[in-house]
Amino acid sequence: MILVIDCGNTDTVLGIYQGRTQKHIWRMPSSDALNQQTWSYRIASEFLEARVKNTDIKKIVLSSVVPDLTAKIAAALRQLTDQPLIIVNAEVYDQLNIEVVNKIEIGADLVANAVAAYDYFKQKCVVVDFGTALTFTSILDNGQLAGVAIAPGLKTAVKSLLQHTAQLPQVPLEVPKSALGKNTIQAIQAGVTMGYTGMVRYLVERIKAELGANTKVIATGGLVEVLEDLDGVFDEKNRQLTLEGLVLIGEQVEDSFG
């Protein structure tokens, strides 16, 4: 079995795969206040509840966009098992099925998305990831990563609005029936969800105009189901695309890294 971990700004998602088949998945907050020992305990507790033995794990792949957590989680994993640990970073990119041009700046999660999407489509494509940030990662026919567009994610936009505006209520991320909000909550829902629907449509159209109309589009991320009117924009939806990309990276990268 392979253990893959996607450490994001909001959540850390762990998955165990047998080959390319998902066996278990866990999601926990990405708290940098927790020390190595606590992370080790949390992961071990999830293993115990799922009846997974440490010895079942034969390889680990870690992707993190939170530098303060990378070392803590890596140390926690090494405490649990002595199996190979691959940390997704610039050192491993040359071994992947895609070509990463700007190796220092790009997030490891975006690389994992690109690896999985290109393996699936085997042609030019774009990954729309609905996470803490809303990202559009484009890949060319030859596997070269063409570029990325980044905007604040849905929850990030709402949170920012609430933090900087007095006396606004908490707002659930739901698409209202009308663009004409009759109260504050509906007004924010309309502005954010419908506004982001338009932004996603426009950016996908603009990317296709640059790459070609036959560019495939795949959506992923924890908030992928929020914007209901976008189904026709995507060729595929796969909420676990990042984890699947990490599994593929585990297959492609030599164990000597990490």
Q: By the 8 A CB rule, do 170 and 148 touch?
A: no
- Write the CB contacts of 91 (distance below 8 Å, at least 6 apart in sequence): 257
Please tell me the predicted confidence (pLDDT) of residue 35: 87
The superfamily (CATH) of domain 102-245 is ATPase, nucleotide binding domain (3.30.420.40)
Predicted local confidence at residue 173, as pLDDT:
85
Class of domain 2-87: alpha beta
Is the pTM above the cut of 0.85? yes
pLDDT at 81: 86
Q: What is the pLDDT of residues 178-204, one digit of tens each?
A: 999 888 889 988 999 999 999 999 999
Identity of the amino acid at 45 = S
Q: What is the DSSP letter of 229?
A: G
Is 103 exposed, middle or buried, given 0-12, 13-18 or 19+ CB atoms closer than 10 A? middle
pLDDT score for 257: 43
Largest CA distance in the chain: 59
Could you tell me the residue ranges of all domains in the chain?
A: 2-87, 102-245
Q: What was the pLDDT predicted at 256?
A: 46
Q: How far apart are CA 201 and CA 199, in angstroms?
A: 5
109 belongs to the catalytic site:
yes
Per-residue confidence (pLDDT) for residue 165, from 0 to 100: 66
Q: Which residues of the chain have pLDDT under 50?
A: 256-258
For residues 60-73, b (16+ Cβ closer than 10 Å) or e, as one string? bbbbbbbeebbebb
The whole-number pLDDT of residue 225 equals: 86
Say whether 102-245 and 2-87 share the same fold. yes
pLDDT per residue as tens digits for the range 244-253: 999 999 999 9
Burial of 88 (0-12, 13-18, 19+ CB in 10 A): buried
Catalytic residue selected from 32, 94, 109, 229: 109
Q: How far apart are CA 233 and CA 194, in angstroms?
A: 15
Which pLDDT score, from 0 to 100, does residue 120 have? 96
